[in-house]
A and B are shown apart, each in its own frame.
Chain A
Amino acid sequence: MASVAEPEAKADLDAFREEVRAFLAENFPPELRGKNNLLSSVEEAGEESPAEKAWRVAMGEKGWGTPTWPKEYGGGGLTKKQARALEEEMAKVGAWNPIGGMGVMMLGPTLLEFASEEQKHEHIPPICKGEIRWCQGYSEPNAGSDLANLQTMAEDKGDHYLVNGQKTWTSGGQWADKCFCLVRTSRADKHKGISFLLIDMHAPGVEVKPIKMISGMSPFCETFFTDVQVPKESLVGEEGQGWTIGKKLLQHERTNLSGGGALAALNSQPLGKVAERYIGLDENGKLADAELRVKIADFEMRWNAFLLTARRAMEESKAQGGVSEISSILKKAGTKLGQERAELMIAIQGYRGLGWEGEGFEQKELDGTRAWLFGKATTIYGGSTEIQNNIIAKRILGMLDHQ
């Protein structure tokens, strides 16, 4: 059977590639080639140039920024194979996906699973078009790793909820239009008293204060809700179902954070080559700093083992049709390695790996300093390493809850 079906599928895929090429030729502005800003998800959205806007709109209208999401809500409706072909064709011409952010990475997949039809039609198309920015209202000053301890209250007032409380670590909160939020609709039960609410960041009573981080950036905010009225239609799922929905969303988040994501890509120069430039080789052709040479080799070998593990997790989940057990170690291991790499870069570059601003540094050296500091967040956010250890111990290894 496969022998009959496959040539046909291949022909379909070839035709699709043709369509992609034609689309890219017509719509991708050549001046944007390779200009994807990998830090954009943690930076302020600058003014879009006309070319950038045109590119985002073109991709958004096709639904190809969210290629595998259903067409009826604005997605591309593509198969996985087609989505891969799209990615490959874009890479060939230096094009990139202009549609991203938390709406795409986290909220969209969650809405597709839990939201009502009306909510899907209202919220998913603007995500697919990259028209609005979402932020995440989970953490609170006393509900970080112990997330279920959150206290922000949403009181039922008949036709609306009245929301009061404080969130923190709201990434991109100052630039966001809307917030997907975990709120307390009942104090009776720690977990079942939590609901999943979509809140307009421009509503009266919402106040945002950016927090300046050690990296000098302020991508995180404190968000205060004072008597904010949120319509009842903004509740996703049932009242009290928020913990279940919220946890599911965190799985999407973890998957996206495991590789150190954009920051890892930013640091993709091979360390050995970088070291050769800064340290030089001795008469035997080895790096002049023997200890550092060993550290770099050790790191690169462990990093390769991590990449092999990520590949294995993907192959396993494809074969099993579910999530591989080892995906839970990817966030823990990947973020740790990302941090080790940043520290090694400093060890290699010396003072020039610590440049803050101004003269005497290359741009990528300055970027490296910020990436090193920002990267410290990776083992804290999205479920800290310690929380990942708890999850591994209990869910995978079957170790008991402490008494």
Chain B
Amino acid sequence: MAVLNDEQEMLRDMAREWTKNEHPVGAWRKVRDAGEPFDADAWGAMAEMGWAGIIIPEEHGGSDFGWMSLGLVVEELGKSLAASPLIASALAASAIVLGGSDEQKAQYLPRLASGELIGTLAFDEGPRHAGLKASASVHDGRLTGTKAFVHEASRAGLFVVLASDGVYLVEQGQGVTLSSRALADMRDHAEVDFNNAPAQKLAAGGDALAQKILDRARVLTAAEMLGMCQAVFDTTLDYLKQRVQFNQVLSSFQALQHRMADLYSELEMTRSAVEGGLQALDSGFAVTEAAMLAKARANDALHLISKEGVQLHGGIGMTDEYDVGFYLKRARVLEAAWGASSHLRDLFATAKGY
């Protein structure tokens, strides 16, 4: 764990207590069984605790606590698989902070900070994230194009859309049609079709704006994945300490100890990479590279840990009644988000010039 200041420690402890007591994995199970995208009351509570405004400047209703602070909260939510539009909405807000005009900031940021408005990014057009390529186009202030697998789309009032010539804000409403897409994690995803939808350009931030938004998406998603890694690891370790086979608790078997030591090593390296990404965002130094590293590391570690989590739980890990399978399914969805490892390695090599 990175060395935190008092403010960050308080925030983390608050998030940890809240998820443990008020919003454990069981809460997500209820939401899923009810067919809801997330628990509206829980989202209200998160907003009330100020989480939706952590990276929004104070003059626009946020607390401006920074990315490390937001990452700490997101990690805790990842541990209990808390369904909320926090990440999507914070990323949409960050796009406006980075690229919005004064009017756009005044218009949207206070409502995003209070949680009243939910925003989300609509970048990808296919089943695999393809970086900054987009064919959606804008003519006379109207955007046309189809975005695939947009997270948290069903409750979003604002879409931050990547078009061929920049990043645009599109409100839910005229010219926007959603078709729900149920993925294995049962979270909120939809294909969003924009047909001459009124769009405002995010004009500041320059050519690099979309990249900056993408960097933030990668790091914050990696923070959620880090929380999931930690939760699966801890749950699996507890299980091995309790489960008896051959008249011995499983945790006394060296073969299993060494596998856990390997997973622990992966987990800690991932924590370093994710915290490094959050620190890079706060310092503004070498952000893109740190973001690629954080996401690739989180992808690979969560892939391994979620798989081993099921295997080490044995048969019970295969049941819907037990939580560990939820992490496996959510893991693969997040691995696909904002760049699979192979995509990120390709980008990394290109950035390094080989």
A residues lining the B interface (CB < 8 Å): 270, 272-273, 275-276, 281, 285-287, 293-294, 296-298, 300-302, 304-306, 308-309, 311-312, 315-316, 318-319, 326, 329, 332-333, 386, 388-390, 392-394, 396-403
Contacts and interface: CB of A to CB of B under 8 A. Distances in A.
Interface in B179-211: none
Nearest to B351: A297
B272 A312 contact: yes
B2 A402 contact: no
Interface string B321-354: 0000000000000000000011011101110111
Given A305-B297, A308-B276, A399 B349 contact: no
Contacts of A401: 252
Nearest to B2: A312
A333 B248 CA distance: 30
B107 interface: no
A309 B268 contact: yes
Interface residues of B, number: 43
B75 to A, nearest CB: 15
A400 B268 CA distance: 21
B contact face: mostly helix, strand, loop, or mixed: helix
Contact of A272 (B254, B264, B352): B352
A contact face: mostly helix, strand, loop, or mixed: helix
A273 B349 CA distance: 11
B213 interface: no
A399 B240 contact: yes
B212 to A, nearest CB: 21
B251 A333 contact: no
Given A270-B352, A301-B297, A302-B269, A400 B252 contact: yes
Contact of B354 (A272, A301, A308): A272
Contact of A397 (B252, B260, B342, B345): B260
Contacts of A403: 248, 252
B261 A389 contact: yes
Interface in B225-242: 237, 240-241
Nearest to A276: B354
B293 interface: yes
B257 A399 contact: yes
A23 B294 CA distance: 44
B265 interface: yes
B34 interface: no
Given A305-B270, A393-B260, A393-B261, A399 B251 contact: yes
A281 B353 CA distance: 10
Contacts of A276: 353-354
A333 B265 contact: yes
Q: In the A-B complex, list the 6 residue pairs whose CB atoms are closest, starting with the nearest.
A: A272-B354, A393-B257, A308-B272, A389-B261, A309-B272, A297-B345
Contacts of B240: 399
Nearest to A307: B272
Q: Which of B251, B261, B272, B350 lies at the interface centre, i.e. has the most chain A CB atoms within 10 A of its CB?
A: B261
A270 B351 CA distance: 13
A297 B348 contact: yes
Contacts of B14: none
Given A390-B254, A393-B260, A397-B237, A329 B268 contact: yes
